[in-house]
A and B are shown apart, each in its own frame.
Chain A
Amino acid sequence: MAKQMHKTPMLDELEKGPWPSFITGIKRLAQSEGKPYADMMKDLLGQLEHSYETRLGYWKGGAISVLGYGGGVIPRFSEVADKFPLSSEFHTLRIMPPAGMHYDTKTLRKFCDIWEKYGSGLIAFHGQSGDIMFQGCRSENVQPAFDEFNEMGFDLGGAGPAVRTSTSCVGAARCEMSCYDEQKALRECINSTLDDMHRPALPYKFKFKFSGCANDCSNAIHRADMAVIGTWADDMQVDQAEVKNYVKKLGRKGIIDQVISMCPTRALSLNDDDTLDVDNRSCVRCMHCLNVMTKALKPGKKRGAAILVGGKRTLKVGDMLGSVVVPFMKLEDDEDYEALVELGQKIIEFFAENALEHERVGEMIARIGLGTLLEGLEIGVDPNMINHPRTNSYVRIDGDDWEAEVEKWNERKAAAAE
């Protein structure tokens, strides 16, 4: 006889309302009699209802991996296995998605087939690090499930103190604001650091994220140890005829209120003939005016990215934003992308050698100072790296050191002028 469904009055409440319900989905799996996962999902629902009743979680970690890998599987063992034995093991396989999270349905259907065979039938698109999360696998099925995903060309993502799975925005694939090839940058950076993803040996996690412009649709600045955020170094492109159309549509007051006054650096003004005047030297490439007037304005032609390091979430000292270490890196030809990959590797290397255990890049910078990191990366300082110079007067400057630094600045300026 088929195993009975547990009573789930609280979870049943989550089947009401207009938004798609994950509970309805899990129930569908639990009621797929004859499928290998049906009874496991019944007990999963039982455990989840138990969590809702008692307001506590009941999963604990462990150590599970696949051959040749040190991470990428999130082991979950139930602490209430006596009550819900069939979902006592409910591991997640983190699988790296394609950059931009584009799929054809053939791939998605194959994922479903594999996960019906070895797992629970429950898949999350996607986790906060970008992974496809295949949730709910018994220990003995982890290896065969991974083998089939691997056969399809997919690989495990990161977990633990490792390079993590990465995300990019939709980027050049479908966005006119894109300032570089986000998909290429992601693939090349990740492919070159796979060892550090699959064999966790870093002080703590390391995340790359790629956004094509300052709108930062991949949420890189708060979430990535190395954020690659698209920008341009020449003048923005303006189609004045289209600007006039926007003035017609929104009115002069509309344009002044919604575009001109909202420019953070007062770099815009509306001319008497309804064309736009742009002070490109003051423009910080924030994207606001481009977002409002999508037909009239576009990034410049000399495109690339700003590189910021040290963004992270709360644990343990609070959130940190990434800080600029490279204000502009041209990303046009293969050599440029190689330089990006090299920079990523250098940052990871410095992090591996200098961070304390369980310290993120941002915390390391707070401890050692940005100057020390820049020296390690052999990058010269740039005023684009700061909001303002120091305000604290207690700084030791031995006379000759100052002159030596001035010399470096002059050399860099001379080199840039060539």
Chain B
Amino acid sequence: MHPVLVENKGNWKWHDRPQPGVLHHVSYSGDEVWTVKAGTQRQMDVYTVRKLCDIADQFADGYVRFTVRSNIEFMVTDEKKVQPLIDKLKAEGFPVGGTGNSVTMISHTQGWLHCDIPGTDASGVVKSLMDELHAEFIREEMPNRVKITTSCCQINCGGQGDIAVNVQHTKPPRINHDLVAGVCERPSVIARCPVAAIRPAMVNGKPSLEVDEKKCVCCGACFPPCPPMQINHPEFTRVAIWVGGKHSSTRSKPTFHKLVAANIPNNPPRWPEAADVVKRILRAYKEDAKAWERVGEWIDRVGWPRFFELTGLPFTKFHLETWKGGRPALNASAQVRF
């Protein structure tokens, strides 16, 4: 940890943001520290890590920290070093930004590079999207901060986001009955199904499992404990976009993200269809939200009819909550908007 942070731990007085990508903290002791934040690709080769170390040694006394969204932060105690550090980072290909009301680095999962159950890639989706959103990373022009998450299966390790780009399986698992008995602990697979659609069955004289396809919600929860129940599919694994998730208790209470668009092709290597929906939502939010409103808070004010109107996204019967605890999501009032 940087010595100035050690010395002033718990003794900071206030902070401001002199420019996008830079935080400035002032301590009661009079010490000041400027933090320069840069985006990374998260999955880094040792050459990239060493390059970041060289930059830290040259400008930031050999200290860095990472944020939970895989941005890197360099702390400097001399204001004169801030601009040269920014110039150096940019020259080496690291975008400087991600502070304040920007679209910061997308939190993501492992994807095809390393996960055992992914429906899509994660690093690739994030790289493609961040290329598109680069301008919003290096500026602070959004009404409030925007956190985007991606998830490569429906477990959604990526987390809640103002905008979430998540895999959606659209067909029940396809079962390789020859392998089930040898690979899967059948009772625990049955217990894993949230809608009790899986039953034990004898198929071709072997113990296996069967799925009531009418009941199945295609969540894919059976696939991790039982890989012969293949849920991923080159065509039927799709992408869905969700909005309005929020972790903080700031102003409004934390919220879950809500489905707004589905059936988007899972289209490597650049996922252009998903990027279009994300950009459409961001554009409407940027133009219409008031200062400090997060995406979900903006929608709370203007209402869902206006959200679908402003983004041009279609509203369908699949947007209605249907599970048994879902009625509170319906409008139980005479409050309507036109």
Binding site for B on A (CB under 8 A): 10-11, 13-14, 16-23, 25-26, 28-29, 48, 51-52, 54-61, 74, 76, 90, 92, 97-98, 100-106, 108-109, 111-112, 115-116, 121-128, 130, 135, 167, 169-170, 172-176, 178, 181, 214-223, 229, 257-258, 262-264, 284, 286-288, 291-292, 294-295, 313-317, 319, 321, 357-358
Contacts and interface: CB of A to CB of B under 8 A. Distances in A.
Interface stretch (B152-160, B169-177, B278-286, B312-320): B152-160
A174 B194 contact: no
B269 A122 contact: no
A57 B45 contact: no
Interface residues of B, number: 101
B46 A112 contact: yes
B155 A215 contact: no
Nearest to B135: A18
Interface in B40-73: 40-50, 52-53, 56-57, 62-68, 70, 72
Interface stretch (B80-88, B124-132, B199-207): B124-132
B13 interface: yes
B118 interface: yes
Contacts of B251: 262-264, 286, 288
B48 A25 contact: yes
Across chains A and B, which 3 residue pairs bring their CB atoms closest together, nearest first? A17-B131, A25-B45, A55-B234
A296 B290 CA distance: 22
A52 B124 contact: yes
Given A20-B48, A106-B62, A315-B154, 12 more contacts: A17-B130, A20-B39, A21-B41, A22-B43, A55-B237, A60-B227, A173-B5, A214-B249, A314-B156, A319-B160, A357-B188, A357-B191
A122 B251 CA distance: 40
B117 A57 contact: yes
Interface of B: 1-2, 5-6, 9-10, 12-16, 25, 33, 35, 39-50, 52-53, 56-57, 62-68, 70, 72, 75, 93-95, 107, 109-121, 123-124, 127-128, 130-132, 134, 154-160, 188, 191-194, 219, 221, 227, 232-235, 237, 245, 247-252, 254, 256, 266, 268-270, 290-292
10 contacts: A21-B41, A25-B48, A48-B113, A98-B1, A128-B159, A173-B9, A176-B13, A217-B68, A218-B68, A222-B247
